[in-house]
Each structure stands twice: as structure tokens, then as C-alpha cells.
Structure 1
Amino acid sequence: MVELRDFRTSDCRQLAAWIDGPLELWNWSGHHFSWPLDEGQLAEYAAESSTPVRQSWMAFDPTTDHVVGHVSLRIEAANASGRLGRVLVAPEARGKGYGAAMLTKALDAGFGELGLEQIELGVWDDNAHAIRLYEGLGFACDHVLRDVVQFAGKSWSAMQMILPRSAWAVDAGSA
């Protein structure tokens, strides 16, 4: 349903267009970018994405060639782990199963060609849709960081989730 290709500088304008305000930017990246999001910030991110520290992809539907999402995996080679993040489905592609398909491909790459033993992620604890998606892929809550930051007049708590290679192998085999 989707294929992944490396995120590149030429994708910056399209990715920025999917984020329509400071709250959506916060939901996507936490404090890593600032509003207004511009191509300069994303160009730095694209440069980091071509190093051994991070792998970032754009997801596209091979039947239409339309780009439908973005996902990133920060790699910690010393302990063979990764941190999934910056997951975003294009507004016009939401609700069509692209998110799960994109994440499945990213997890396959992480546990496959990158040889990771576990993949972690953080998600705001009020993002029920994303939490259901991650749980459906086999992630389990490891712990919750309560009230870690104040933003937009509210206190934010972050659920930390984890997926070991052994759980992915079992889930992937049954999919």
C-alpha cells in the first residue's frame, strides 16, 4: 500500500505545508522546531536525515505516486535501538490506512536492514488515535512522563512506548 523513500531537501516545502499552525507543529515534533516552520529548519533536518544518526522517509502510494506521509527513526547504534518519531500523514491521506502501512515499512527497516533490537517512541497521552495505532503495531506503554511541559496553556504528558524485535517478529509474521 505504501513504499518509503529517503526524505530529501526537495520534500521540505511539501512537509511544511502539512503543518498548519503551532499546535500541529508541537504535536508533530515537540520542541524540536519553531513556528513558523520554514524550509531552513527542515533543510537542517533533511541534512541530519542523511547521517547514521537518523533515517527519515517520505511515504508514497506506488499506485498513484502521491506522497502520503513522513516518518523518522533516530538510531542509537551503541545499544541497537531506535526512536520512532515525527510521524505525519498528509491531511488528504488521513483515515485511509496509510499511517499503519507507513509505520509497518519503517519498523521493517528498523528491525531488518538497520538491525535494531528495540524501537521506542513518545506520544502525547491525549493522542488516542495515535496510541491505538501504535498499540495495534505491537507497541506497549513503558511509562508516562507526567506534566513534562507547558505549551498552549496546557500541561502535556508523554507516553513512552516500546516495541522489542521479538514482539515485532511475532506480530509481523501474523500480519
Structure 2
Amino acid sequence: MTTHPQPRPLPLSLSPFRPAEDGPLLHTWVKTPVELMTWAGPSFTWPLDDAQLAAYAAEPGRHTWTAVSPGNHRIGHVSVAGTRLGRVLIAPEQRALGLGRALVSQVVGLCFGELGLPEISLGVWAHNTAAIRIYESLGFRTEQILEDVEEVDGALWTAHQMRLTAPTR
């Protein structure tokens, strides 16, 4: 029987999202209306601008973070509003390296630890299979599928509503 080494967790830290400093980077990561819809759903309008990012970061009850790798490279973004995880984004040049899973895993730990949330919910587009795989690998389960809820570039998009309950103590 062959055993495979467990992958090492990728080091990253969460820094509070600062629209003036981190917003310009988001502009370079979200380059089209379709990318904006994929990242944030219909809550922002194209083109994404600084005023929208400032208002988003200032929403009461919303926690927003920039993911930072060793060497202080900003490589991602994530937020939590109430019990809703969202706006997960990894820099395009950093994708497919396991950073998305590392980021979500860290935020889940923070939500159930420091924030004391009883559960975490999220929505993800059905065609975003890489994200769905990450969420499922961390224990999220689809509770509802919303068929054809958004029209984007003439195509109807379906959303998965997923949930993860805090571990029992």
C-alpha cells in the first residue's frame, strides 16, 4: 500500500481590507462584467469603482479581509456578513496553487473560533466547479439549487446555496 504525504498547508494571513490600498488590486483581478458577477453576484455594478468598494467595506456587520502570503504579497480577498461567506477571490496569477482552499479554511476557522458563528452559508455559481470542490472538501453541503437565477451575457446561471455547521464542542 502506497501512502501519499499530506499536502502542507499554504501559509497566508488575513489583513483587514483597506479599500484605498487594496481596492486598486481588486480592479486588476476583476476585469470584466462576467468576472464581477462570478466574484460578487449582482451586488456590484459594472464597472467596479472605488466608491462601491468603500461602501462594501463599511457595511455594518461585514468583515472584509485581504489574504496576504509570506513576503507581504496580497493574493486574495474574502468577506463574511452575518453568517454568510462571500466574495472569495484569489489573484489570477496565484490560482490553482491551493490558495483558495487555504483561504477558505482559514476563514472557516476564524468564523467558528473568534467570531463564534453557529454556521456558515454561501452561494456559488454552479459552473464554478473549482470553488464547489473547495467548499465540499471543507465540509460544506449544497442545501438548495436555484435554477436560472441570473442572466449573464445571454446565459442563465444557476446557483448552489451551501452550508457548514460549526463542529460540536
TM-score, length-scaled by structure 1: 0.86
SS at match of 1:157: strand
- Aligned-residue offset at 1:132: 0.5
- Spell out the pairing of 1:120-159 with structure 2 (5 A cutoff): 120-159=121-160
Equivalent AA in structure 2 for residue 25 of structure 1: L
Displaced runs of 4 or more, over 2 A: none
Equivalent AA in structure 2 for residue 2 of structure 1: L
Match of 1:7 among 11, 17, 26: 17
- Spell out the pairing of 1:91-110 with structure 2 (5 A cutoff): 91-110=92-111
- Aligned-residue offset at 1:46: 1.9
- 1:8 and 1:47 mapped to 2: Cα distance? 10
**Aligned length, in residue pairs:** 158
Deviations 1:35-83, CA, capped at 9 Å, x for gaps = 11111111111222xx3x111110011x2210110001111xxxxxx11
Q: Percent identity?
A: 46
Match of 1:33 among 24, 29, 44: 44
**Structure 2 residues without counterparts, runs of 5 or longer:** 1-10
SS at match of 1:57: strand
Paired position in structure 2 for 1:47 = 58
SS at match of 1:166: coil
8 Å CA contact retained: 2:14, 2:68: yes
Paired position in structure 1 for 2:35 = 24
**Cα RMSD, aligned residues only:** 1.3
- 2:79 and 2:57 mapped to 1: Cα distance? 10
- 2:29 and 2:150 mapped to 1: Cα distance? 24
- 1:129 and 1:64 mapped to 2: Cα distance? 26
TM-score, length-scaled by structure 2: 0.89
Paired position in structure 1 for 2:3 = none
- Aligned-residue offset at 1:103: 0.8
Higher percent of residues as helix: 1
- 1:116 and 1:23 mapped to 2: Cα distance? 31
Paired position in structure 2 for 1:59 = 67
- 1:158 and 1:152 mapped to 2: Cα distance? 16
**Structure 1 residues without counterparts, runs of 5 or longer:** 76-81, 170-175
SS at match of 1:150: strand
SS at match of 1:13: helix
